[in-house]
Chain A
Amino acid sequence: MRPSSWQFPGFAGSIYRRAGDSHAHNAKLLCYKGEANSSDLLAGNLEFRGMNQPSRAAAVTPHPKIGYSLFDIEIHARPARPQDIATYLPAPYAERYLDGFLGDSTPNLDQRGGNDREDADTSDNGVAASNPALIARQLLAPYGIEWAICTGPIYNLSTMGDTDYATALASAFNTWLNHDFVPRDSRFNGVVYVAMQDPKAAVKEIEKWASHPRVSQVFIGSAGIVPLGHRSHHIIYEAAAANGLPVATHSTMEGRGITGTPTGNGYCSRYIEYHTGLAASALTNVTSLVCEGVFAKIPDFRFVLLEFGISWAQPLMWALDREWKNLRSEMPALKERPSDYLKRQLFYTTQPIEEPDQTRDLVQTYHAVNGSSQIMFSSDYPHWDFDNPLVILPGKENAELKRRILRENALALYGRRLGLT
């Protein structure tokens, strides 16, 4: 879960200053191994020298209780300092960013104790998940994680009223994540952030990063000004599919900035209402993607839901299939049952895993949504609702399903593009 007050830990208040920092346009820009100069990075002239690594084999010891290495598709890597991002912003935006303007207001819902797990290793600089060595020590090594996708810290781009600022932030975070952070550990992979308000700029950003060997997918927020299936977004999905990139969306942008209210029915009072109700947002977006014909129109489009739960998808499929039989003529582009598209093109992540009294009830739901190919493990490190891969899905009878979820399904979706299979 993201903090509902949208601040990096380094931002203590609305104004951020640190002794010795200078503004980005005066600063000596940080470049990964000096392989590109600052003007190249700001202009988007990236060459990924040194990034073609045919062998990505890392020394990973599987956890003895699991017996194989894992693929974690969600680590919330963060910049250690705001300067790390400001470096890649044009001067006016850099100043704005360093002044602490990170986007939209929040829906004013928060919970006790913050949103990071309280034992997150912050022993170096106080910012959890900002140091690859500490992520490796607390997460990758103990659980035997061989590959991970760093989904990073920012998913409110599509909730910002200032489209140009959102687009500039997308670009800056992409450079920081894929150029500076990901190369620091051979197990890491990156994403391409886009701001959905400007679809043409989003396509340009996707094409800019498409040849990067460690970029795994396009990353979008879960809420904007229209449901995700709206036709204005289709060129973004087409660009992603044409470049072999799935599109992932992350929950908890509902109610922020220029989006609607935190729930479809208005404002709620408590974090628990908001957090539980996020499934309704997923349901709306998936229905929109189906009924606006995105899955049918773009057969290579793959859509990944991060932190939305899974079990709601089973009754959604029942309902959509029934409605399709009744109302097919409203959406003649659909040649198959809605559930057929979803069982092939929609992917889910485990975290936060649902916890019925009986594990078999969860397993039944997983099979109903074709979970043996569509569900992937996500740790959500360093957030508070981290799930322990040693504990989830117990039982010998679930061993094969668990192996697919912890490793094989993500390898099948991302492995070819990332050169892992």
Chain B
Amino acid sequence: MSDVAALPPAQARKRVPAGPADLPIGGRRIVPVGAYSIGVFRLESGYHGIVNYCPHEGAELCKGRLTGTNLPTDKVSNYEWGCEGRILRCPWHKWEFDLVTGQHVADPSFRARTYRVIESDGQLHIEL
């Protein structure tokens, strides 16, 4: 019995195939889903999905660079680099998003929708 079948119908989430689970760490794949698309990224912590549409002006967020950032600090001129490999930076205006939570790093009132990515039998599925 699949996981989907185990859930009551109202709670069952649709899953879309997202290709083989062969991405290297730091790798990505953009998967078309209806009128939009979703980026699947592999981090150290596993696979993560995020909408390929920046909540700011609609750029293809998942074409941005995967990087780190200077962590918040209480001291002036204190630059501590962190979150390496989990900050997704929009290709247009350089907005930084935490790929795991979808939160905009500077202003948490902005968020890009994230998706659970399930790996089974060597295949990936995005849970919508």
Contact = CB atoms under 8 A, between A and B. Distances in A.
B92 A391 contact: no
Contact of A119 (B58, B63, B94): B63
Interface in A372-407: 384-388, 390-392
B58 A390 contact: yes
A384 B92 contact: yes
Interface in B39-76: 57-60, 63-65
The SS class assigned to the B binding surface is: loop
Interface stretch (A50-58, A66-74, A89-97, A110-118): A110-118
A47 B94 CA distance: 45
Nearest to B61: A119
Contacts of B64: 118-119
B65 A113 contact: yes
A213 to B, nearest CB: 34
Interface string A321-365: 000000000000000000000000000000000000000000000
B85 interface: no
B58 A384 contact: no
A137 to B, nearest CB: 15
B14 interface: no
Nearest to A114: B94
A113 B64 CA distance: 10
Which interface residue of B57, B60, B63, B89 has the most chain A CB atoms within 10 A? Answer: B57
Contacts of B19: none
A388 B92 CA distance: 10
Given A113-B65, A118-B64, A118-B65, A384 B59 contact: no
B58 A117 contact: no
A36 B91 CA distance: 41
Nearest to B60: A119
Contacts of B94: 111-113, 384
Interface in B11-59: 57-59
A338 B92 CA distance: 37
B78 to A, nearest CB: 14
A119 B61 CA distance: 10
B58 A391 contact: yes
A213 B89 CA distance: 42
Contact of B57 (A111, A112, A113, A388): A388
Nearest to A355: B56
A386 B90 CA distance: 12
Nearest to A120: B91
Given A113-B94, A384-B92, A386-B92, A118 B63 contact: yes
Interface string A101-137: 0000000000111000111000000000000000000
Contacts of A118: 63-65, 91-92
A113 B94 CA distance: 8
A117 B93 CA distance: 8
B59 A385 contact: no
Contact of B58 (A112, A113, A385, A388): A388
Contacts of B65: 113, 118
Given A117-B59, A390-B58, 4 more contacts: A112-B94, A113-B94, A119-B91, A385-B92
20 contacts: A113-B65, A113-B89, A113-B94, A117-B59, A117-B92, A118-B64, A118-B65, A118-B92, A119-B63, A384-B92, A384-B94, A385-B92, A385-B93, A386-B92, A387-B57, A388-B57, A388-B58, A391-B57, A391-B58, A392-B57
Interface of A: 111-113, 117-119, 384-388, 390-392
Interface of B: 57-60, 63-65, 89, 91-94
